[in-house]
Amino acid sequence: METRHCVGFLDTCPLSRGHALIVAKRVTQTLFELSPAVQAEVWKTAMAVREIVKRRYRPDGFNIGINDGAAAGQTVPHAHVHVIPRYRGDVPDPRGGIRWILPARARYW
């Protein structure tokens, strides 16, 4: 998928079937360096890509997000959003979702 300011495509190293990226055409380290209008277009494209992935792969849920800065695990210095389909049984206990990026603090229940 392509819009004026961004492109969406399947990740070349997917975490799950249908893992996609939405990448801004303008190269910036972080999504927050983009104008509000371009940020809005990125999120609108993420919604559209999510719908395509939902129809094509039939996941049971999604994790959608960004890694903003090296301390957050960002390895590609180019603003992008991950759309990661999730499937029942892909992990033993999915509760907490993205909270598991800090495993010692993830379990709050």
Calculate the alpha carbon distances from 82 to 9, 30, 109 in Å.
10, 13, 26
- Domain spans of the chain, in order of start: 6-91
Angle made by CA atoms 78, 79, 85, in degrees to the nearest 5: 115
Tokens 């939902």 sit on residue: 54
Active site residues: 80
Q: How confident is the model at residue 106 (pLDDT cuts 50, 70, 90)?
A: confident
For 29-76, what is each residue's pLDDT tens digit? 999 999 999 999 999 999 999 999 999 999 999 999 999 999 999 999
Q: SS3 for 18?
A: coil
pLDDT of residue 85: 98
The predicted structure's pLDDT at residue 38: 98
Supply the pTM of this predicted model.
0.93
Q: What is the pLDDT of residues 71-93, one digit of tens each?
A: 999 999 999 999 999 999 999 99
What is the third-level CATH fold of 6-91? HIT family, subunit A (3.30.428)
Nearest alpha-carbon partner for 65 in 107, 108, 99: 99
